[in-house]
Amino acid sequence: MKKVLLSLVVLMSTSFVFHSNAQTHKDDNFEFFDTVINNHNQLFQMSCIPSAIEMILKYYKVVDFDFYGLQIKWQNKADGSFRDFDNKELYGITFTQKFVLPRDSSFPVDSLFQTIENELKSGKKAIISLPADGGWHMFVICKQTPDGDFVSYSKLGSHTLILRNTKEIVKKSNGTEIMTYRTPPGM
């Protein structure tokens, strides 16, 4: 009886150790990005551009989760665009505006998608402008699905927005602009 009881204790202990190790060794970058998104807010109705940039800065841990300096400076700037951050270095990360082209049938959608795929394959994200409620809203593309589409995240106040059909939206819009970024070596 003692052997059976000891075996049962050892089996339960081993199961507990494996289960707790599986839960504590999660350091996946996507899960951290999810944490960034869940702890971030868009402060002003028109501050989606600096909000998206702040999410990237928080992802790279160059600012704290309570950093909202870009949005506070921007507030409800109605005439802002990616141009305001083009070739700007913020906390060691340099942002670049791309695909500033007319949104029409000649827009190089395949080239845009390839650029985004290349960014994701290199471990980075991309910021994209997508139509929303008669205007445009900024999203951070964080991953590609097995079927090839992009998953994009944004905030509207404290509400998290998730799009899983980014390519379809871009095609219907006849293209869009994106922002990519460079990080210093070792970041």
pLDDT score of 21: 33
CB 49 within 8 A of CB 82: yes
| pLDDT, tens digit, 9 for 90 and up, residues 92-144 | 999 999 999 999 999 999 999 999 999 999 999 999 999 988 889 999 999 99
Q: Distance between CA 44 and CA 151 in Å, rounded?
A: 24
* Separation CA 66–CA 172 (nearest Å): 36
* pLDDT band per the 50, 70, 90 thresholds, residue 23: very low
DSSP states of 82-101: GGGGTTEEETTEEEEEE---
Mean pLDDT, the chain, as a whole number? 86
